[in-house]
Structure 1
Amino acid sequence: MNLFLQELRKIWRPGVLAALVALGAVYYYIRPAFYIEYFNNGSQEQADFTLALDWVERYGPTIEQPEREEIGRRLAEEEARFADYAEGNTEMASRGITDFDSFEAFNDISYISDAAYQAAKERGDLALEDHVLYSGETNYFTILELRRFLEAWDGEGLPDPEEGSFGKTRRLDELCRERVRAMREDRIGRSVLPPHVEFSTSTYVRYLAVWCVVSAILLLSPTLVRDRLHRMRPAQWASRRGRRILSVQFMAALVSGLLLTLLNIAIYMVPFVSTGVLAFWRCPLHAVLRSYPWFDWTYGQYLLALAGLVLALSLGASGLTAALSQYSGNYVAMLLKAIPLIVLLTVLGVLVTTFAFYFGNYVTRFLAFPGGEILCAALLLAIGLASCVLACRAQRRREL
């Protein structure tokens, strides 16, 4: 145990940790922070999120028939409010706009950002549609999201499962069709979970996976190289533990990779959870950008599965790094191994975690069967662990 703790102290050096903290902070503000700051990116997503939070508190994770009728009455009330606004707006009345439908028919609306609206407002060159949509005087986006949700609940607005192509092969195509049928007929289309929450989750976890892999490689790369530079190997071999010390070092490396990944997940999840997404923990998933999940998990189960995927990727990277670092005689040689490993594993992390567990996942589409992302993460983990085991066996057979 003392030897194991000593190896952990060699890995968790203050200088290395300080560098990781600095790099992690820079990386967060360059990439993941954007998806927290613009989690509800625009008035439409904000309206969707606000409605969903209210529904999950009042109705639970799914909307049933009586609740659907209540939401239908809410839509009628919101449309009546919009009609009252249109009636009192001289410019809209002069153009024959009397309600929500006539407003949409009159305008070929192209949405602008809230910042662009404020800039146009200061210049005094707002179009009528921009003023109505973004002034805060109307409930346009609330009506839009209410209609979208009711269409999804009724099975409308979804592709016809008997038409078009959904997958890369006939088998994948049929599996996608089954999911579309389920969304039309079952509870999946009745989930209150906003679609953009699933998209933001996938994107945020993708960047988290990249950082977990990179930070594990950076933490573990110098350890065994430092031993070789200080000629520690002969002294270790001459000790009571002998060549078995390497197995303890690999165990310390894997435990360090695990602890670092858990720490990264905990830190990076704090701002994400602060958006309020945990309110949708029990909500079933549905389609994102016309890509469908191939399982019946809830959003909470999806988050746990993504965390497991990131852990597998990071542990696999930790094992490979520890196994390769023992063959580096100096820090330059270590970098020549670490840089290609970082590039390769970050690309793999992006491919595996982007829309993980959806038919639109890159690996699933390439392999043409669901679960390709799980297979890749499991293979990387197996390769990392096997590399450590083989390195220990080779060490014991080496001559002094």
Structure 2
Amino acid sequence: MRILWHELKKIITWKMLLLLFIVNFILYFLLIEFDIEYFPNGRPALDSYRIGIEMIENYGTHMDELEFVDFKRTYETQVKELNQFLQSRNDFVEEGIDTYEKFQNIDHENDQLYALHSKLFFEESVDTVWELQERERLMEFYERKEEGLKIDLRDAKVWQKDRFLEMREEGLYGVYPEVVIRNFKTFILSVAITIMISVVLFVSPIFLKDRMKQLLYLQYTSKIGRNLYKSKVLAGLISTLLLITTLLVIYLSFYTLNDTSMYFDVPIHMFIGESNWYDPTFFQFIVINIVAIYALGFIVALLAMVFSSIVPNYIVLIGAQIPIIAGTIGYGLLYLITLIISIWIPQWVVPTTYSFMLLIGIGLLVYMWKREKQRNILE
């Protein structure tokens, strides 16, 4: 235990913590801040977010036909309110725009009329106008939900059809605003990128540092001898666990500022545009992504330790890891995090990819351990 603690202290140094702080500070403002600071991002995203909360409060996590009738009734009430508003405005009445229908059909080629249209939307930013536009979009999705699934079935590949048929039989249609889940997917992808980079920086020097200081000869002739290799690996995994947990706590604390907890119990199939192999709630989907980040973080840590144990210097270490990091961030994370249960990826791809990467990492570490046991320290 004392040796393990010593190895942990060699990894968690104030210099490394300072480097991680600087890297995370930069990546936060480059990748993550936007999804926190600007959520909902303008209009109609703000109206979509508000109407989604209203739907959950009034109808719960699902909407049936009777509830849709009530939703349309709310829309019609708002149309009447806007009609009264327009009729109270001389600038609109003078141009013959005294109903919402006429407002919708304004001739955009007429500069004067288009100016009035823009004035209501952008200068005065009248809530009712924006909300009506969003309600119309949601009503259209509800009314065409079966048609949309028919199109998906028609265009589906062989490995997707059974799931689409199952969705049709169970009535899994997306009719709730998608603004929250899209924001989370963008946010968690940025967080995953930041954490993967942090893990690589944190763990990579674990073996190389001692080799460059020529401490291996002393370590291999000590009482613990070559078993120190296993202690280093364990220290690296524990450090990775601490790092991922700390960063997730920090970034998910930031995410709570988006105030999306009222959406937690909504099944993700209820969000527009969501077709998945499984049907967790939004909160369960968040948990799935957190577990995936831990899994990927440990896999990346294992690979980083393998490279650290074989490369001769930091330049080679950086050069060897850049293609892997770039490939993982640019290609892998989209499928392994954001689209982890998406129907647009074959159901076996994600679990197989995780299993393969884990086996590669463990296999290489076992190989390196066997090599270390037989290694001639005089070489």
Cα separation, partners in 2 of 1:11 and 1:143, compared to 1, 3 Å: same
Counterpart CA distance in 2 for 1:304 and 1:138 is 35
Question: Residues 170-222 of structure 1: CA distance to partner in whole angstroms, max 9, x if unpaired?
Answer: 333x246436636xx625435x4x30211111111111111111111111111
Partner of 1:35: 35
Aligned to 2:337: 353
Residue 372 of structure 2: aligned partner? 395
In the alignment, is the contact (CA less than 8 A) between 1:166 and 1:176 conserved in 2?
A: no
Hey, what's the Cα distance between the residues in 1 that align with 2:223 and 2:152?
Answer: 71
Partners of 2:166 and 2:174 lie apart in 1 by: 11
CA distance in 1, matches of 2:254, 2:165: 36
SS in 2 for 1:326: helix
Partner of 2:6: 6
**2:359 maps to amino acid:** A
Provide the residue aligned with 2:252 in structure 1.
Answer: 269
Equivalent residue, structure 2, for 1:374:
351
- Separation of aligned partners in 1, 2:348 and 2:57: 33
CA, structure 1 residues 288+279, in 2 after alignment: closer, same or farther (shift >3 Å)?
closer
Distance 1:291 1:44, change over 3 A: same
**Equivalent position of 1:385 in the other structure:** 362
Greater shift in the superposed pair: 230-239 or 76-85: 230-239
Give how far 1:309 is off: 1.4
The answer to whether the 8 Å contact 1:357/1:371 transfers is no
2:74 corresponds to 1:81: no
What's the offset of the Cα at 1:320? 0.4
> Which residue does 2:47 correspond to in 1?
47
Comparing 9-18 and 94-103, the one that deviates more? 94-103
The aligned runs of 1:102-113 (5 Å cut-off) are 102-107=102-107
**Identical counterparts, % of pairs:** 20
State the 1:246 CA deviation: 0.3
With normalisation by structure 1, the TM-score equals 0.84
Name 2:130's counterpart in structure 1: 141
In structure 2, distance between residues paired with 1:100 and 1:371 = 50
1:100-153 CA-to-partner distances (Å, cap 9, x unmatched) read 3332222559xxxxxxxxxxxxxx998222111231335012122223334434
What secondary structure sits across from 1:189 in the alignment?
coil
CA–CA separation in structure 2 for the residues paired with 1:237 and 1:217: 26
Contact 2:107 2:114 in 1 (8 A): no
The counterpart of 1:127, out of the listed 115, 121, 142, is 115
Match of 2:90 in 1: 90
CA distance in 2, matches of 1:74, 1:11: 60
- SS of the residue corresponding to residue 174 of structure 2 reads helix
Compute the displacement of 1:13 (Å): 1.1
Note the 1:1-400 alignment, pairs <5 A: 1-107=1-107, 127-134=115-122, 135-156=124-145, 159-161=148-150, 166-167=155-156, 169-172=157-160, 174-175=161-162, 177-178=164-165, 181=168, 186=171, 188-189=173-174, 192=176, 194-286=177-269, 290=273, 292-347=275-330, 348-360=332-344, 364=345, 369-400=346-377
Q: Distance in 2 between matches of 1:249 and 1:64?
A: 57
Structure-1 separation of matches of 2:146 and 2:136: 10
Q: 1:155 to 1:285 in 2, by over 3 A?
A: farther
Instruction: State the Cα distance separating 1:379 from its structure 2 match.
Output: 2.2
Write the distance in 1 (CA, Å) between the matches of 2:327 and 2:303. 12
Q: CA deviation at 1:275?
A: 0.6
Partner amino acid, structure 1, of 2:78: E
Distance 2:147 2:246 in 1: 40
CA distance 1:158–1:39, shift in 2 (3 Å): farther
Instruction: Say if 1:322 and 1:138 are closer, same or farther in 2 by CA, change over 3 A.
Output: closer
